[in-house]
């Protein structure tokens, strides 16, 4: 797994979205720098199958919760036990799985995520698989064409991405009710791709939901997202 470290201070793990990487979701929009300026050490992994990390094609390389286990291994490799956790889209889903599996970050920010994106991953898995396999002939031709363009532009392996989709695991409401880390759930005002941020916040004790300008793709580059993350992390 490839990863980049920016700054010094309190460790803060930033997990990017599907078909993206740490640079695209966090460095280019200025989020990584904004967080690092809080006297933090920002850790930016490229998730398995993405960016500069390995992208094996064998399904056996992607057991259930593979991405969450990767992050657990990275934290252990770096000797980090006290940290904060930020994820966007697939990164947010991965962060939630880490929490369910026993991770104990001090603070958590989930971006671009809602209730259905955590509790019922099948719909998003089917949506992305359709676009990856069928391009502009997918049920959503515009989305399929976008995915095909992203595959080529970012040098992504389609089979590896299908494997990434397959390793995702649903999280039940009972598991969400046991999470005790302070949590901000922040999504674009026009983002319902993964359900409702507000409904997800209602399922996690003490979680708060906030909206920023944009949809699922544009909110991640909106300066308001970076400001919301930095304000919550303090």
Answer whether 0.95 is exceeded by the pTM.
yes
pLDDT at res. 61: 97
pLDDT of residue 37: 98
pLDDT of 227: 98
Query: In this structure, what token pair is assigned to residue 225?
Result: 């997202």
pLDDT computed for residue 105 by the predictor: 98
Mean pLDDT, consecutive 10-residue stretches, the chain (234 aa), reads 97 98 98 98 98 97 98 98 98 98 98 98 96 96 96 96 98 97 98 98 98 97 97 96
What confidence tens digit (pLDDT) does each residue in 99-124 have?
999 999 999 999 999 999 999 999 99
The predicted structure's pLDDT at residue 144:
97
Mean pLDDT value across the chain: 97
CB 40, CB 12: distance < 8 Å: yes
String of DSSP letters for 209-228: EEEESS-TTTGGGSHHHHHH
Per-residue confidence (pLDDT) for residue 193, from 0 to 100: 96
Q: What digits encode the pLDDT tens for the residues 67-90? A: 999 999 999 999 999 999 999 999
State the pLDDT at residue 138.
96
- Determine the pLDDT at residue 4: 98
SS3 of 119-179: the string is HCCHHHHHHHHHHHHHHHHCCCHHHHHHHHHHHHHHCCCHHHHHHHHHCCCCCCHHHHCCC
Q: Identify the CA nearest to 217 among candidates 139, 112, 91.
A: 112
> Domains of the chain, with CATH numbers?
3-115+169-233 (3.40.50.1820)
What confidence score (pLDDT) does residue 123 get? Answer: 93
Query: What pLDDT does 187 receive?
Result: 98
């Amino acid at each position: 797994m490839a990863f980049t470290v920016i700054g010094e201070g309190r460790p803060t793990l930033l997990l990017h979205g599907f078909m993206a990487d740490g640079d695209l979701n966090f460095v280019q929009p200025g989020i990584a720098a904004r967080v690092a300026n809080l006297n933090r050490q920002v850790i930016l992994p490229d998730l398995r199958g993405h960016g500069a990390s390995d992208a094996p094609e064998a399904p056996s390389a992607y057991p259930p919760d593979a991405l969450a286990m990767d992050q657990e291994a990275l934290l252990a490799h770096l000797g980090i036990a006290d940290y904060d956790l930020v994820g966007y889209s697939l990164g947010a889903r991965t962060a939630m799985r880490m929490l369910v599996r026993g991770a104990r970050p001090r603070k958590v920010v989930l971006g671009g995520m809602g209730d259905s994106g955590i509790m019922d991953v099948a719909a998003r898995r089917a949506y992305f698989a359709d676009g990856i396999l069928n391009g502009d002939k997918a049920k959503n031709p515009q989305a399929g064409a976008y995915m095909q363009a992203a595959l080529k532009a970012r040098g992504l392996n389609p089979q590896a991405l299908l494997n990434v989709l397959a390793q995702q695991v649903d999280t039940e409401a009972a598991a969400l009710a046991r999470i005790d880390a302070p949590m901000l759930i922040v999504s674009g005002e026009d983002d319902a791709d993964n359900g409702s941020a507000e409904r997800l916040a209602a399922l996690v004790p003490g979680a708060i939901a906030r909206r920023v300008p944009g949809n699922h793709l544009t909110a991640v580059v909106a300066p308001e997202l970076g400001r919301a993350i930095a304000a919550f992390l303090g």
